Amino acid sequence: MLDKYEGFSRTHGAGHLNEKNIGETVSLCGWVHRRRDHGDLTFLDIRDRYGLCQVVVDPKISKTAFDKADPIRKEFVVGISGKVVERANNAINPNLSTGRIEILAEEIKIFNEAKTTPFFIEENITADENLRMKYRYLDLRTQHMTRNMIMRHKLIKCVRDYLSDNDFLEIDTPILCKSTPEGARDYLVPSRVQKGKFFALPQSPQLFKQLLMVAGMDRYFQIAKCFRDEDLRLDRQPEFTQIDIEMSFVRQDDVMQMVEKLTGYIFDKTAGIKFDTPFLRLSYDEAMDSYGSDKPDLRFGVKITDLTENFRNSEFAVFKNAVAEGSLVKGLKMEGCANYSRSEIDGLVEMGKSFGLKGIVTVQYKPDGIKTQFSKAMSEEAVKKALEPLEAKDGDLLLIAVDKKDVILNAFGRIRCEIGKKLTLIDPKKFSILWVTDFPMFEYDDEDKRFVAKHHPFTSPFLADLKYFETGELDRVRASAYDLVLNGCEIAGGSIRIHDRGVQEKVFAALGFSKEAANDKFGFLMEAFEYGAPPHGGIAFGLDRLLMLITDSPSIRDVIPFPKTASASCLMTGAPNLVDEKQLKELAIKQITPEIIAQ
RNA sequence: GGAGCGGUGGUGGAAGAGUUAACACGUCGGCCUGUCAAGCCGAAGAUUGCGGGUGCGAAACCCGUCCGCUCCGCCA
């Protein structure tokens, strides 16, 4: 028979009690974390969001309470009243914040019983993801997950506090939006009222926030839910949260300075991490040339070194010929790895192949000379001369390869990260933040045979580069876009936006939109630009990824209360699910067979 | 769309194709007044994800399928 909560009232959180409460009579409510039954004396650990506290159930204090405790098992929901007492010296538990005190139970209420849980609610959960996701509410009971949820709250509160204090307005924007081309696949919602038509869930509030600037809101932010129907990854969920920010009458530096202050505030308040300002800035070209990535991890060195000119006229025909055809020669140095075995070196070459390289030439700097495939065509002197920029010393291993610019930079960028991991060059306590700027505006899409926007089509090109629209050299147009990168992870991205109809039309034209198509999809935006649109720009943080870094979580699922699995389903509720024929009929939707889909 | 890894009592996790599918934790019962991963004694609990196949014999090998995880493609 369960007890009613009527007549009982909680006075403290279990984890909040300490020596100051000694002598007080308190009431706790919570879950029974563990029960230790010594026969004529029982210990109950009561757990709530605030922590854990030991309750002593002694028949000499209360026989009624003692009998009541008999059937209590793990995860029962109970209420305990009793006096807080100091523990004997030899009974102190230094692992608990409440370890110097305990409660002598005078009254026990059982508000609910609990079946044996499908997995243990303890710190290092080893249970299968399947189970954790199906019983997410149990998973969230662990201290670890509770802490992550508290961090999530703290982070959001920091953002609200800081931005509110700096004249930003929190304004919400629609979830039922218009499907527009470009970008990720949309989640669609059928309209019942207008049969055959669909809403799309927002991939981001991009256009709304720009229109809020046109509306004169001046400074806006939102903790915004965003939806992208693409495949999932360790750090990617179909439904995620952005800290979305937009400001009027700003240049790129104004946004960046504001973001540096906000970021500093967030990291200091949530994790006690302080950054030096201004943050390091690298241009996109610098980042790509030195690190092979537009989000380089600068917690360790290992720069990519260019050797193209040194091999332009070399004896090594493979490199010489490739360079003549426009390929680049790049090198990476692995300090102290000259003694790698044949199989370790083969492993590196294989890695290169998996990243798209045809091969890698290795050079081992040993005390008795160098060992390398270059020797077939070049003297040791010539090899050393060609590789001088890498400044190798005895004991080092060099990786050299040739390929088209994008291929080799991408491959070496990834190998660089593998080297960082393999040689444990990364200090796990270090936080390395930087801006990457001056992105190219467009990128050629081989599949669609057209240029696409690297950031998004509302990003302002450098005004100085507008001339390339006329000459058709779209790959030379730079964008006023900036990414904030922390430990090799893009945590925020933003840009100065176009606020001029003419420029916006040029960009759409460059992307291959007809005037009609541009008007049909984005006419409302361009029309708004004709009614006094202020210069504006902004940024959006990936809140979940930010939390992953702050909490040092191995997966984005660990910082989202109810995440989706890799196949985008919710194992707890069973979403997505089939719906009634009747519901479909109301929406004028007819299901088609897999055979038709395959066509 | 493609690739890799995994799925064994409630949980974790063993098991060269060969008797009764280890072990630990949990659960249940008993003993026990200072534990905090309590301890001690005992018991129950599994058609090895699902469906085929090979074979005298399959948890194991093969094929298919479902689910989870990771990666590539994809993610302005």
Kindly tell me if the per-residue pLDDT of A319 is higher than 90. no
Averaged over A124-136, what is the pLDDT?
A: 90
Query: Residues 371-430 of chain A: which lie with beta carbon within 7 Å of strand B?
Result: none
At residue A194, the pLDDT reads 97
Q: What is the DSSP letter of A87?
A: P
H/E run at residue A501: helix A501-510
Measure A560 CA to B45 C1' (Å): 35
Question: Measured between alpha carbons, how far apart are the two ends of chain A, in Å?
Answer: 61
Kindly tell me if the per-residue pLDDT of A593 is higher than 80. no
Phi, psi of A234 (to 5 degrees): -45, -40
Q: What is chain A's mean pLDDT, rounded?
A: 93
Residue A91 pLDDT class (50, 70, 90 cuts): very high
Residue A384 pLDDT class (50, 70, 90 cuts): confident
At residue A595, the pLDDT reads 64
A538-573: per-residue pLDDT in tens? 999 999 999 999 999 999 999 999 999 999 999 999
Measure A226 CA to B11 C1' (Å): 36
At residue A525, the pLDDT reads 96
A339-367: per-residue pLDDT in tens? 888 878 888 888 888 888 888 899 999 88
Residue A235 pLDDT class (50, 70, 90 cuts): very high
A273-310: per-residue pLDDT in tens? 999 999 999 999 999 999 999 999 999 989 999 999 98
Kindly tell me if the per-residue pLDDT of A461 is higher than 70. yes
Radius of gyration of chain A (CA): 31
Measure A134 CA to B25 C1' (Å): 21
Amino acid identity of A395?
Answer: G
* Share of residues in chain A with pLDDT > 90 (%): 78
Query: Residues 518-577 of chain A: which lie with beta carbon within 7 Å of strand B?
Result: 555, 557, 565-567, 569, 571
A180-208: per-residue pLDDT in tens? 988 899 999 999 999 999 999 999 999 99
Chain B footprint positions (protein CB, under 7 Å): 1, 8, 10-13, 25-28, 31-39, 67-76
Query: Could you tell me if residue A326 is left (phi over 0), alpha (psi between -120 and 50 degrees) or otherwise beta?
Result: left
Averaged over A91-115, what is the pLDDT?
A: 95
Query: Residues 482-521 of chain A: which lie with beta carbon within 7 Å of strand B?
Result: none
A42-81: per-residue pLDDT in tens? 999 999 999 999 999 999 999 999 999 999 999 999 999 9
Q: Between residues A426 and A207, which one has the greater pLDDT?
A: A207
- Rounded Cα–Cα distance for residues A536 and A249 (Å): 5
Kindly tell me if the per-residue pLDDT of A9 is higher than 80. yes
Residue A226 pLDDT class (50, 70, 90 cuts): very high
* Share of residues in chain A with pLDDT > 70 (%): 99
A331-343: per-residue pLDDT in tens? 999 988 888 888 7
Residue A1 pLDDT class (50, 70, 90 cuts): confident
The angle formed by the CA atoms of residues A116, A121 and A123, to the nearest 5 degrees, is 160
Kindly tell me if the per-residue pLDDT of A229 is higher than 90. yes
Scanning every strand, the nucleotide with its C1' closest to A54's CA turns out to be B36
Averaged over A401-420, what is the pLDDT?
A: 90
> In sequence order, what are the beta bridge partners of A222?
A244
Averaged over A228-255, what is the pLDDT?
A: 97
A163-176: per-residue pLDDT in tens? 999 999 999 999 99
Scanning every strand, the nucleotide with its C1' closest to A60's CA turns out to be B33
Query: Residues 109-168 of chain A: which lie with beta carbon within 7 Å of strand B?
Result: 116, 118-120, 126-131, 133
Residue A483 pLDDT class (50, 70, 90 cuts): very high
A590 token code pair = 């007819």
- Rounded Cα–Cα distance for residues A191 and A365 (Å): 68
Residue A597 pLDDT class (50, 70, 90 cuts): low
Residue nearest to nucleotide B34 (CA to C1'): A91
H-helix segments, A140-295: 143-165, 206-214, 252-271, 284-291
Residue A159 pLDDT class (50, 70, 90 cuts): very high
**Strand, coil or helix: A42:** strand
Q: What is the dihedral of CA A292, A297, A302, A308, to 10 degrees?
A: 10
Scanning every strand, the nucleotide with its C1' closest to A99's CA turns out to be B36
Q: Is A234 (CB) below 7 Å from strand B? A: yes
Q: Please answer whether residues A481 and A455 qualify as being in contact, where contact means their C-beta atoms are separated by less than 8 angstroms.
A: yes
Measure A352 CA to B36 C1' (Å): 53
Scanning every strand, the nucleotide with its C1' closest to A88's CA turns out to be B34
Averaged over A156-168, what is the pLDDT?
A: 98
Kindly tell me if the per-residue pLDDT of A217 is higher than 90. yes
Residue A598 pLDDT class (50, 70, 90 cuts): low
CA distances, A172 to each of A159, A204, A246, A400, A573 (Å): 15, 12, 13, 52, 27
- Rounded Cα–Cα distance for residues A381 and A387 (Å): 10
Q: How, if at all, do strands A101-112 and A198-200 pair?
A: unpaired
Q: Please answer whether residues A491 and A549 qualify as being in contact, where contact means their C-beta atoms are separated by less than 8 angstroms.
A: yes
Measure A388 CA to B19 C1' (Å): 70
Measure A567 CA to B59 C1' (Å): 28
State how far Cα A267 lies from the chain centre. Answer: 15
Measure A575 CA to B54 C1' (Å): 40
Measure A341 CA to B61 C1' (Å): 35
Averaged over A245-257, what is the pLDDT?
A: 97
Query: Residues 37-66 of chain A: which lie with beta carbon within 7 Å of strand B?
Result: 37-41, 43, 45, 54, 56, 58-60
Kindly tell me if the per-residue pLDDT of A260 is higher than 90. yes
Measure A20 CA to B62 C1' (Å): 69
Enter the pTM of the model: 0.93
Q: Is A91 (CB) below 7 Å from strand B? A: yes
Averaged over A36-43, what is the pLDDT?
A: 94
Measure A105 CA to B45 C1' (Å): 35
Q: Is A579 (CB) below 7 Å from strand B? A: no
**Strand, coil or helix: A283:** strand
> In sequence order, what are the beta bridge partners of A27?
A81
Averaged over A521-528, what is the pLDDT?
A: 96
Q: State the complex-level ipTM.
A: 0.93
At residue A596, the pLDDT reads 65
